[in-house]
Structures are given as structure tokens and as C-alpha cells.
Amino acid sequence: MLNVRGVFLYGFSQMSLPTYPQNALDIPSQLFLLETRGVVIEDMAFARRVLENVSFYRFRAYLFPFLRKDGSGNYAPGTSFNQCWQYYRFDRRLRICVLDAIERIEVSVRTQIANNLSLKYGPFAYRDPSIFAASLNMARYNELLSFIATETTKSKEEFVESFRRTYDTSNGLPLWMVVEEMTFGNVLTLFRLMKKQDKLAIAQSLNSSKTVIESWLTNLNYIRNICAHHGRLWNRKLAVNPLIPSKDAKWHEANYPVNADRIYSTLCILKTLLDEVAPQSQWKQRFYALLAEFPCIHRVSMGIPDGFENSAIWK
């Protein structure tokens, strides 16, 4: 019954939707289309090289803010190919900058989780469900254990192979090795499964609450995946919004609002957490330098308020 119904629904949806009408365009045709829709192409040879290496579909996303509001598909007067290329370049550099900060934070969180659980419960205790929350999601827990077993079995890392040659692996690997084989998503899952007091220990080391930290790590995992897949970041409306700490005044300055659905909220999280895990970091200065290098970028699309450098978060 389900299969029959599923086929019927699939067929119905296909019959009710129009067929995609467009054929693939070669690069000269792509450039011609941009020109006819109002994009100024200053250097045709340069524009061609860009579209040979950056797909038309990807590049066009950076033209979207310049579309006229009349639904014509045409661009506002003065829309420039080179200007949009600067947006593309900025977005790429922003992703690199964001990943740099996330890497520092991710490594720190991995380390703190491994140390906290191993010292308290033992290096292999992660295989014992009793060390986790009483309301443990067993399906999620077993899925995590399955991933760990698969990844450590096929791992070619020297530290894993050395452990296999030296010790009995029937209990798996010590947790401090396991976390090095995990994805950030796996680390987040491990954190979610932990007891409240163990979450609290991690959160306190980051000068925050367990609820806020879990939300922030969820947001950072989402942003990390966007960056890793080279997705557009600078003007994206975030699908995974972080919690804004309700009792921390610096997150609620009237002149410097932090909107959870824009990348500025993540940038504030990165700055706040780096102050805890890497206070010697020059990441803030590198971010400022990036903004200064691209003065044409519309900061409002990122949710960055004017004069944000003077806010309590960034001082």
C-alpha cells in the first residue's frame, strides 16, 4: 500500500509541474545573458576566465542582491561583473577566516570533552551507556559507537596503527584517540549525550552555560559545513540560529544589535570563544583587515552594525 501510494504521489507531483525549459549555455552565451540583463562586463576575457573556473550558477548568486525588484530578472543600473567578483572573493576569504577560528575552537572542545570524560570515567568508558545522561537516546548513541568502530577500523593514521600493534583493541581506542577520528558533528553528538554536570564542566571552561554552548556548537557545525562545501556565507540567512545569551548585557547593546539569523552572530560567537580558548590569537585583527581590504562589501547583508568594533563583544 505504501509503495503504491508513494508511486502515485510521485507520478502526480511530476504531472502537475512544468518541465524545466532551459538548456545548458556555453560561456559566451552566459556572458551575453548577463549583458542583456544589465550587467556591465568591463573585461570580457577576464569574465570568461572567471566563468571557466567558477560556475555561472554559483557566480550568479553574488549578483542576486543587485536584481531589480520588478521581477524582470534584470539587474539594477551600474551592476558590475568586477564588483560582483569582489563579493565572490570576499566570501571566499571570509570562509577561510571563519574556518580558522572554528578550527581553534573545535580542537579545544574535543580536548576538553576527552579529558573530562576520560579522567572522570576512564579512557574506554564511552562504551558504557551509564556514563551518559539518564535520558540517553540509545539509537543516537549506538549510531555514534558504530561510526567510531567503522572509522577506527579503517583508519590509516599512524597513532591508530601503532596502538593496534601494541595493545588489545577489543575495547576500542582510548577516548582521546577516538575524538581525533570524529567529525565535528560526532563531537557535537557526544556532547549532547553527556550528563548535565559534564556538559556544565565544558561550558564553564568556556565561560558560558551548557544550553548556550550546545546551541553555539550546533551553529558552528552548520557554518563549518557551509564553509567546507564552499557555500555562500556573507549574506546568507542562517538556517541554524544560535542562542543569544539573555543575561549577558554585551549581547544586547542597543547600538550594536546581534541578529541570530545573520553571519555576524556567528562572528561574535567566534570572537567570544576565542577569547577563552586562544586569548593570544590575532584572529580579530585578521578579520578587521579583511573588512578593510573589501570596503565595497555591504555589511548590512552580514548583519554587521555600524561601528561594531566599539561594542563590548569586540573590545
Could you count the other beta carbons within 10 Å of the beta carbon of residue 143? 13
- With vertex at residue 50, the alpha carbon angle to CA 46 and CA 52, rounded to the nearest 5 degrees, is 115
Residues near 265 by Cβ (< 8 Å), separated by ≥ 6? 219, 238, 241, 242, 244, 258, 259, 303
pLDDT band at 4 (very low <50, low <70, confident <90, very high): very low
Based on the fold, state whether residues 162 and 280 are members of the same structural domain. yes
Using the predicted structure, report yes or no on whether residue 5 has a pLDDT greater than 70: no
1-5, 55-59, 123-127: the lowest-pLDDT one:
1-5
Based on the fold, state whether residues 240 and 126 are members of the same structural domain. yes
Query: DSSP readout, 198-218?
Result: HHHHHHHHTTS-HHHHHHHHH
User: Would 86 be classed as within a structural domain?
Assistant: no
Based on the fold, state whether residues 217 and 106 are members of the same structural domain. yes
Based on the fold, state whether residues 240 and 198 are members of the same structural domain. yes
Based on the fold, state whether residues 96 and 64 are members of the same structural domain. no
Residues near 301 by Cβ (< 8 Å), separated by ≥ 6? 65, 234, 235, 262
Which has more confidence, 161 or 22?
Answer: 161
pLDDT in tens, 278-292: 999 999 999 999 999
Smallest CA-to-CA distance from 86 within 299, 304, 297, 302 is with: 297
Percent of the chain surpassing pLDDT 70 = 95
Domain boundary among 50, 79, 108: 79
Based on the fold, state whether residues 37 and 100 are members of the same structural domain. no
Based on the fold, state whether residues 145 and 251 are members of the same structural domain. yes
pLDDT in tens, 132-175: 999 999 999 999 999 999 988 889 999 999 998 999 888 899 99
Residues near 147 by Cβ (< 8 Å), separated by ≥ 6? 182, 186
User: Would 254 be classed as within a structural domain?
Assistant: yes
Smallest CA-to-CA distance from 266 within 314, 232, 219 is with: 219
Q: Cβ distance 133 to 196 under 8 Å?
A: yes
Q: Cβ distance 206 to 273 under 8 Å?
A: yes
Domain boundary among 22, 53, 79: 79
Q: Cβ distance 138 to 131 under 8 Å?
A: no
Based on the fold, state whether residues 48 and 133 are members of the same structural domain. no
Based on the fold, state whether residues 253 and 182 are members of the same structural domain. yes
User: Would 155 be classed as within a structural domain?
Assistant: yes
User: Would 21 be classed as within a structural domain?
Assistant: no
Using the predicted structure, report yes or no on whether residue 307 has a pLDDT greater than 90: yes
Using the predicted structure, report yes or no on whether residue 11 has a pLDDT greater than 60: no
Based on the fold, state whether residues 186 and 63 are members of the same structural domain. no
| pLDDT score for 13 | 52
User: Would 16 be classed as within a structural domain?
Assistant: no
Alpha carbon distance 277, 273 (integer Å): 6
User: Would 2 be classed as within a structural domain?
Assistant: no
Based on the fold, state whether residues 62 and 97 are members of the same structural domain. no
| pLDDT score for 14 | 54
Using the predicted structure, report yes or no on whether residue 306 has a pLDDT greater than 50: yes
Based on the fold, state whether residues 63 and 195 are members of the same structural domain. no
Q: Which amino acid is at 252?
A: H
Smallest CA-to-CA distance from 192 within 146, 136, 112, 248 is with: 136
User: Would 100 be classed as within a structural domain?
Assistant: yes
Domain boundary among 55, 79, 103: 79
Percent of the chain surpassing pLDDT 90 = 85
Could you count the other beta carbons within 10 Å of the beta carbon of residue 158? 8
pLDDT in tens, 60-116: 999 998 999 998 999 999 999 999 999 999 999 999 999 999 999 999 999 999 999
What SS3 state is found at 32?
helix
pTM of structure? 0.90
162 to 156, 157, 178, 231, 300: CA distances (angstroms): 10, 9, 14, 38, 52
| pLDDT score for 36 | 96
Q: Which amino acid is at 234?
A: W
Please give the mean pLDDT across all residues of the chain: 93
Using the predicted structure, report yes or no on whether residue 10 has a pLDDT greater than 50: no
Using the predicted structure, report yes or no on whether residue 261 has a pLDDT greater than 70: yes
Using the predicted structure, report yes or no on whether residue 8 has a pLDDT greater than 60: no
Q: Cβ distance 173 to 155 under 8 Å?
A: no
pLDDT in tens, 213-249: 999 999 999 999 999 999 999 999 999 999 999 999 9
Using the predicted structure, report yes or no on whether residue 24 has a pLDDT greater than 50: yes
Split into its structural domains, the chain has a count of 2
Residues recorded for the chain: 315
Question: In DSSP terms, which residues pair with 75 in a beta bridge?
Answer: 67
The secondary structure element, H or E, covering residue 289 is: helix 283-293
Alpha carbon distance 271, 294 (integer Å): 20
User: Would 122 be classed as within a structural domain?
Assistant: yes
Q: Cβ distance 75 to 68 under 8 Å?
A: yes
Which domain covers residue 305, as residue numbers? 91-310
Terminal C-alpha separation, the chain? 62
